[in-house]
Amino acid sequence: MSDIYVPGVKSRFNTEKLIEDLMKVERVPKDRAEQNIERLETNKSYWQDIGRRFTTLRESARLLYSFQNPFNDRIVRSSDEGAITGIATREAVEQERTFTVKQVAQADRFLSSPLDDSYRVEEGNYRFTVGEDEISFNFRGGSLRDFIEVLNRRGKDKIQASLITVKQGTKSLLIESKITGEGQGLGFTGDAEKLAVQSGMMERLSESRREVPLSTSTVKELSGSPGQSFLSFGKNTLTVGAEGAATTAIAPGLRSSPALVLKFETSTKLLENTDDIPQPPPGPEIPPPGSISYGGVTIENDPSAVPIPPWETPPVPPRVDDMGVISLTFSDGTTGIVPPLEDSHSFVASQYRLDDIAHGKTIVSVDFINRNTHRDVSIRNVEIFDPNARGGLKPSNAVSNAQDAIITMEGIEIRRPSNTIDDLIPGVTLTARSPSDYPIRLGVEPDREGVKDAIIGLVGNYNRLMAEINVLTRSDDKLIQELTYLTADEQDALKKKLGAFTGDSSLSQVKNNLQRAATSPYPTSLDRDLAVLAQIGIGTDVRRSGGSTGYDPSRLRGYMEIDEKILDTALQTKLPAIAQLFGYDTDGDLIVDSGLAFAIENLSKPYVESGGIIAMKTGTVDSQITQEERKIQTLDRQLAAKEAALKSQYGQMEGAYNRMDRMSTSLDQFSRQNSGNNGR
């Protein structure tokens, strides 16, 4: 069927194929131009890859000597991160401290009794307090969920509520403060107090606090010579002098319970040694012996003689240091000693569970017996109270109670309302996480791991750039096989680049410069013996002990290696000098002008800066691409004209042939007609 000619439908001479074959020849210059554009685009992408490698290398080099370099970073290491941790800024000083976490800061969290799902909160004005802040709102009545929605909306960042399924088929209301600290207790007033009691969240107390006043009318002196007092009074402050004693009555007596605590503040004052050194007695006073005169002659009497026994210095009274100054007297006549006080010139707060001292007995007096011979003790703000009480209310189901974080640093007790403490060690923010039964070491030290990661990053980026340059400037497939860290896709991508820029002088030059920078010595003032990277385990041929020493061509490519063991040791012992090895101000003008990182950054800058070598290379390629595109546009116009001319010529030929064919057909018909007529 393909050989059947249909006039007006198919060309007799297959003109379209003839024209297409002719146009293929005519399109050869255009095809070459398009191939050139594709090659130029590929080369441009290769230069852009080189530019990205340079940029990454420059950034990693700049990181090692800029103002934000990791050599100045500090970290906090804790021997027990479950108890206390820390975060240090660059301003923190290297140091090590010992901490003990006595308690962590908490907020009040109170749970109600199990409530039926149909429990409704009555209409009213509900007022809650968190410390000195008040949250107040009017509620028109509704379900627990309605009440919680209103409370959470009004409470914002101070108080919140939720429902907890403690018992199947019921819900318990949980109301909690969102602010930690002993002074941020959760309080209930107005209809909120009524709701707290009705829901079983709180219970009423008859008495929850007993203050112990310290004044001349309430304190009685127990010792002292006539006319001499060992007591002095300030504003609710009692000072018991050395070897003095006093007592104050608790009336009516107060029975201790596990919920009560004894709290007070004390300070001490050490006295100079006032013991007078005894001197021997002067002995009896003897009158003059007298004399007699007669006839101008005077005769003196012999002086009187009184035998005095030899002087023996009496022993110095022993010094007494006894910090068990405060004690409690009970109704049965026994006493209980409060734990020893802290020796401090400033007032220090102390707090103890009363039942640990009284063991359920009734307290009738607080005694202050200062047995110290060289120390005055001052006491103030003595009170016995229930720390869980909230304005006459006590939580029935306390999930947690408001309390401060209490930690000791080097034996000094510190109390803060939050577990985050940023005002204790300059530049360090501590976080208390859980109580500890033993001292915890917390050290501020340089971030050596961060420094190591930055150095490894620089070496890695350096090697990737060197690998890229090696592949682009050489055609040896072994170059890619040596890069064992590459993925299969990365190896395939590099194979396409092999030898793409063979003979490019700029790449060969920068490769030599980078190799020279990696092996050159750099001055350091903190360690005169440290000058080259190989001394900290970094080099183009780092040989590990026991390793092969044979010929290895991969070691001649300019790649850097790292011996981590040597590097780790150097980072532990020579960190400041290593910082100078990468970036150092040699002339004291506060501008880094030496070091490996500085050298690499300077070598990279001409390539990646605006108008630099990479930009010039890609700009040249863009110009070549533009020229080829213009050439293609011209060729497209010429090809279109050529194709149109061929179609016209072949169309005319087809038309002439068709006319001739028709004429031949007409002549044949005319001849046959004449032959027929002649036959008749």
> What are the DSSP E strand ranges found in 504-606?
538-539, 561-562
Q: Residue type at 372?
A: N
**Element containing residue 384 per DSSP (H, E):** strand 375-385
What crossing angle do the helices spanning 564-573 and 448-473 adopt, rounded to 10°? 140
What is the per-residue pLDDT for 665? Answer: 80
Q: Average pLDDT per run of 10 along the chain, which is 680 residues long?
A: 45 72 81 87 91 94 92 95 95 94 95 92 94 93 94 92 87 95 91 93 78 88 66 88 90 84 92 68 74 76 75 78 92 92 89 90 92 92 84 85 93 92 95 94 95 95 92 86 83 86 88 91 89 91 53 66 93 94 92 93 91 90 90 85 80 77 78 69
What is the per-residue pLDDT for 330? Answer: 92
Place of tokens 């103030």: 380
Contact at 8 Å (CB) between 631 and 32? no
Dihedral pair phi/psi, residue 100, rounded to 5°: -135, 130
Q: Which residues lie closer than 8 Å to 560 by C-beta, 6 or more apart?
A: 459, 462, 463, 518, 533, 538, 539, 540
What is the per-residue pLDDT for 546? Answer: 44
What is the per-residue pLDDT for 58? Answer: 94
Q: Residue type at 431?
A: T
Nearest partner of 399 among 177, 664, 100, 563, judged by Cα = 177
Q: pLDDT tens, 558-611? A: 789 999 999 999 999 999 999 999 999 999 898 999 999 999 999 999 998 888
DSSP-derived 3-state class of residue 348: strand
Q: Is the preceding omega at residue 252 within 30 degrees of 0, hence cis?
A: yes
Nearest partner of 375 among 276, 275, 238, 243, judged by Cα = 243
What is the per-residue pLDDT for 4? Answer: 42
Task: Report in angstroms the alpha-carbon separations of 397 from 7, 110, 197.
Answer: 104, 6, 12
CA distance 329 to 363: 6
CA distance 472 to 494: 9
CA distance 274 to 389: 48
DSSP-derived 3-state class of residue 499: coil
Helix, strand, coil percent values for the chain (each to nearest 5):
35, 25, 40
Model-level pTM? 0.68
